[in-house]
Structure 1
């Protein structure tokens, strides 16, 4: 597992894992206090929350994204953004999460994260950028070195 982390962590601007909600989206994994680690955007239609899955110990953090499009029952789509499938980030500076709207791509988010680097057995600072198209539900995410 750590070998997979090293491959992703050292690659520049690599696509990340965006998956349908599963056990990682459980309410008992929401980082607390909830009001500090959950924010809404687009008039409340979009929510981004920090997940602390506890394990794996070095990489437990993921982002939960609730957003349009709405299904036939009126529920938003639910996605989990991770470094790699089942592997989270070492840290997420949720207070530094920024968002803005670009008509060409939709909502754009940027947040500092840290990743485990197997080569040095240490943690590296990175920037997680992701876009959300509310019309289609498409989410694209990339992690790159700070300043990229």
Structure 2
């Protein structure tokens, strides 16, 4: 599937809510990585994702920060330092309210930082707005637009 969103989320409840909200409003496939190591394997087509075509990057990454194995900030750092993944929009989608997490996320090149709302209706509304902006309104660089 060429039009894929990568959701990096270790909380099964947040994963289910996000998948439900994305599928309700968008017709894109969603790949799920449940820890930072799997996210990197997906993005760079290694390990259990070695058969994935690395020339077709995800349309965007919804990235939690508090992840097992490799934390979200490290995933973001590696994404931004590699030319193959540098232009993929990375949206931090987390429950963290720590100011340092916000500062570090933007310092490392996050495109957006969104706190997950506790209210399900607000959660869905926020995610719909995020998806609409990044997948419909935002203009990607030409090499990325070809992959979309």
- Bucket of the pairwise TM-score, normalised by the shorter protein: under 0.3
User: Which is richer in helix?
Assistant: 2
TM-score, scaled to structure 1: 0.25
TM-score, scaled to structure 2: 0.25
User: Which is richer in strand?
Assistant: 1
